[in-house]
Amino acid sequence: MTELRAAGRRLEGYAALFGSEARIGSFVETIAPGAFRSALAGDVLALLDHNEGQVLGRTRSGTLRLTEDSRGLAFSLDLPDTAAGRDVLALAQRDDLGGMSFGFKVPRGGDDWHGEKRTLRTINLKEISVVSSWPAYPDTEIALRSRGHDGHTLRRRRALILAEVARAIG
């Protein structure tokens, strides 16, 4: 368990899991281990529903922390005391969030195609998003970390939407 911030407003989990399949139109996509490695050094945003006007955090300021482990792209996000941050907190407490997603570009040579199956090997990560709708990937996790009256952590299982696929392919 990670340390709780004084405000008790931390969201954490996985924005992407390696090997999990998503059906994107006519093809199936998976993410290979190590795909995010080079992207972790850049400034990545945390957004609400991929909306650039609703920033929840960023790696540059330290309010978003990203790591790649054996399971996938793990995140820890300190939610801001803004309208968007309060909305995410309220939805997480009610278990109403749809899951996590991420926006990215694939550099030349960063993916492999085998028939109708695409494997992402290198991803230029731009943002991760807390989403309020339906996910494409069924296996990621999102959990709210806060101080409840009993001190227990709320845990929630969620899924991932692969964002901006058309832009990444094009």
pLDDT digits (tens, 9 = 90+) for 147-156: 332 322 222 2
* Residue 123 zone, left/alpha/beta (φ > 0; ψ -120 to 50; rest): beta
Entry pTM: 0.74
* Residue 99 zone, left/alpha/beta (φ > 0; ψ -120 to 50; rest): left
pLDDT tens per residue across span 72-113: 999 999 999 999 999 888 888 787 887 888 888 999 999 999
